[in-house]
Amino acid sequence: MSAQAYDHAMGQTFVRRVVTGIDAAGRHLITADGAAPNTIVTDTVAVSEVLWLDGPLPSISDDPDNADSGFALEPPPGGASARIIRMPGIPAGADPDSTWLRVAGDSESKPGMHATDTLDLMVVLEGCVVMGLEDGERVIGPGEFVIQRGTLHRWRPADEHGWTYFVAMLRPDIDANTDIVNVKPVTTGDKAVRRVVTGSPVVDGGAVDAVSMSAITMTDVWHTGGPLQSVDQGGDPDGPWSLVPPTGGLWFRLVELTPAPPFEKGWHITPTVDVDVVLRGRVVLELPEGVQTELGPGDVVIQRGTNHRWTAIGDEQFVMASLMMDATADNAGK
């Protein structure tokens, strides 16, 4: 298989984002490849907003970028933001307790403690971070997930090295009226994927559900069961396994691919808007008519309803976090 070689110069930028889409002639294309327009980079902090949705019922034809500049803390009701953020480590000689990230309105006794009206789906890409909750602190490391359900929390670096993470913030739509289906309360399982789910009690341990077939394993991290109506909605899937989420819902998964030759059954289309974040390894993303590109750690793909397949390459297991949001509104004439 030939592919556009991995661009190491682009890889040195903060975040490379590849966006797919379907043009007016029905061709499945890569519509953008590079830094997202809403990106800021400083010597210590960097933020790249890779997806912004203004409201519920996303469409595969929606613009993935916010028309307004800046970084709103919360998206509109029913909307979502997806960002990769890099934060600095503990400065030399500093007291770690002085490095909690401060937010407007927090207290001196619990600096940085806050809550948002969002369901936050997070995975650490590099480094380690301390998450402070009302019941204590937890260190979150690379490849580990946090499901933050509108509870009080705060963050600080775990060491001098800093950390980088992906977070999708989903704002509930209290007017959503679709039934919630095939979801059960979250528990601790035996899968080798750590997730910390906030709430009462906090659930901290392995994921419960995974499916393996051929050279691929998909581990379910969170399932909303339908349109998000409250920040504590969701859990583990209950019922037959499905690649795509239910109407108005979303999946958050860890996807692992073993390097192998490409196979014809790998081609697929889903009626979803996906945010795919490469955690480890390398992969070729292929679209019809020879459109393809190579991706490496830290790269992001916004997959918008195109026919595509993934082929892991090299000697290392390929791993990505994948957020899949139902976009069947396109089929309803949105």
The dihedral region occupied by 106, where left means phi > 0, alpha psi between -120 and 50, and beta the remainder, is: beta
* SS3 at position 10: helix
DSSP 308: B
Element (H, E) at 11: helix 8-11
Give the Cα separation of 229 and 190 in Å (integer): 29
Give the Cα separation of 322 and 301 in Å (integer): 9
Mean pLDDT of 291-301: 97
Q: pLDDT tens for residues 255-288?
A: 999 999 998 889 999 999 999 999 999 999 999 9
Q: Which of 62-66, 205-209, 230-234, 257-261 has the lowest mean pLDDT?
A: 62-66
Mean pLDDT of 39-64: 91
What confidence tier does 57 reach under pLDDT thresholds 50, 70, 90? confident
Range 8-332: architecture per CATH: Sandwich (2.60)
Percent of the chain whose predicted confidence (pLDDT) is above 70: 94
What confidence tier does 321 reach under pLDDT thresholds 50, 70, 90? very high
Rounded mean pLDDT of the chain?
A: 93
Q: Where are the domains of the chain?
A: 8-332
pTM higher than 0.75: yes
Beta bridge partners of 278: 320
Give the Cα separation of 287 and 75 in Å (integer): 31
Q: pLDDT tens for residues 124-177?
A: 999 999 999 999 999 999 999 999 999 999 999 999 999 999 999 999 998 887
Which residue type, as a one-letter code, is found at position 307? N
Selection from 196, 194, 130, 131 nearest residue 159 by Cα: 130
What confidence tier does 10 reach under pLDDT thresholds 50, 70, 90? very low
Half-sphere exposure of 46 (CA within 13 A, CB side): 19
Q: pLDDT tens for residues 228-252?
A: 999 999 999 999 999 999 999 999 9
| pLDDT at residue 331 greater than cutoff 90 | no
Query: Which residue's entry shows tokens 């970084």?
Result: 71
- Phi then psi for residue 42, to 5 deg, are -120, -175
Q: Give 37's contacts (C-beta < 8 A, 6+ positions apart).
A: 65
Q: Beta 300-304 vs 17-22: how paired, if at all?
A: parallel
| pLDDT at residue 318 greater than cutoff 80 | yes
Mean pLDDT of 33-60: 92
